[in-house]
Amino acid sequence: MIDETAEAVKTALGRFALERPAARRLLLGVSGGADSLALLLAAAALPLEVCVATVDHGLRQESAAEARFVAGICRDLGLSHRTLAWHSGDAVRGNLMGEAREARYRLLGAEAIRVGADAILVAQHADDQIETHRLARERGASGPALAGMRAWRDLEPGLVLVRPFLDLPKRALMDAVMRAGLSPVEDPTNVDLHYRRARIRAELAGAPQEVAELRSAIARAAGLRAAEDAAITAAIRRAGGEGRLRVDDAGAVVFEPAPGDEALWPRILTAAGGAPHPPQRAAVERLRDALASGGRAATLGGSRVERAGERLTIRREYGRTGPPGVEVAASGRLLFDRRFTISGAGETGAARLEPLGRLGLGGPVSRTLPVGIDRDGGVCAVHPRLGKRFPDVPTLRPRPCVAWRITADLPGGTGDRLTADPQNAANPAKAVGKDLAATYLR
């Protein structure tokens, strides 16, 4: 009999492969807790290349030893392992757990690019999903927003986050680890009632009827979200096919809205502005009303919208500080401002990528484009749009991912219909072994 955790991983990868190119190399995020150890054991048996990373947030004295514990298990399983350290310094303000979570995914994303992984697998489970639903409900969310975490979601072109255990309770994961004879790490924050998640966990511990009702509510909300995703996908395809929605090589979106396009606005504004999250619905409606009332320009969430007749141009606003800079690694691709993926920047001698406006140069469009800065502070590479201004400077190899972000997480990935340069997958589909393909398509 196949262990249910292994079956869950195979099923999750199969569902994902119906919408995106099948994963060939996986990166597992493993902390040493029962959940992530169950993931490690299940994924280790897959006929795929598997790498493992542990994020050491440095928030507890035991964290370094826990990372070494995971490294030892990986050694026994014949898997590569790397510890990723988060140096928070004085940067954390407000929600420490939220900052740590963002850092975790940022570090895992960079590691996935380094090792060439197509997918990052993490071990959130059904109990986590219930807590996420409860937290969203307490914040006033409704409808599709109560569906909780997605089983998979796009992180950047060619990289997807997969959560294979969302239908399994924590008990099943603990049992799998116990059968393997492993003693998982116990994180004290999981029972620290200072945190709302821990309090919800305690409240539901002896309430099986409420748990069942919450699972039903999540399933209903997931159905609503699936219907909403399908409607948005259809609207994007319609607008793209009619030439009313397109993206240029500088990441600007040209949009001629029509009835039925209302749900596209948050996605377009988020993608064009390089924002991490979509703006509030009420703010989007105010912006639309202002433009409909004769306004020629408006800003929201890092994007600037300019109207010329029925046509809107939405592009990145420089703002007070401009897009954040990025350290250049020796190899691999970089994500700049969530609008471009850039390969080979290190080959130009660049130590950092910065927006042109950081040098006090450029107009409304060009000042948000990336340039490479060497260790002496000189410009050593530029976005191709800036080639005429810097005729003797090599050009970067940017791949706009604005169209990709507009269609992220949607079925089918329709970003290729919005631009001449397909952006919905950085890595083309490749054949997998027959046994694995059969598992994927079951």
Residue 88 is assigned to a ligand binding site: no
Residue 33 is assigned to a ligand binding site: yes
- Mean per-residue pLDDT, 403-408: 94
Q: Which amino acid is at 184?
A: P
Residue 32 is assigned to a ligand binding site: yes
Q: What is the DSSP string of 290-304?
A: HHHTT-SEEEETTEE
Q: What pLDDT shows up at residue 330?
A: 65
Q: What pLDDT shows up at residue 419?
A: 63
pTM: predicted TM-score of the whole model, two decimal places:
0.87
Q: What pLDDT shows up at residue 415?
A: 55
306 phi and psi, to 5 degrees?
-120, 135
Residue 191 has pLDDT above 80, yes or no: no
* Residues of the chain above pLDDT 90, percent: 74
Instruction: Measure the CA dihedral 7/13/14/20, to 10°.
Output: 170
Q: What pLDDT shows up at residue 2?
A: 58
- Domain positions in the chain are 4-205, 326-400
Q: What pLDDT shows up at residue 106?
A: 87
Check: CB of residue 279 under 8 Å from CB of residue 307. Answer: no
Helix axes 63-77, 34-44, angle to 10 degrees: 20
Residue 189 has pLDDT above 90, yes or no: no
Q: What pLDDT shows up at residue 195?
A: 83
Q: What is the DSSP string of 126-138?
A: HHHHHHHHHHHHH
Residue 35 is assigned to a ligand binding site: yes
- CATH no., domain 4-205: 3.40.50.620
Residue 284 has pLDDT above 80, yes or no: yes
Mean pLDDT of the chain: 88
Residue 36 is assigned to a ligand binding site: yes
Least confident of 57-66, 103-112, 339-348: 57-66
Residue 142 is assigned to a ligand binding site: no
Categorize the per-residue pLDDT at 194 as very low, low, confident or very high, splitting at 50, 70 and 90.
confident
If phi > 0 it is left, if psi is from -120 to 50 it is alpha, else beta; for residue 251 that is left
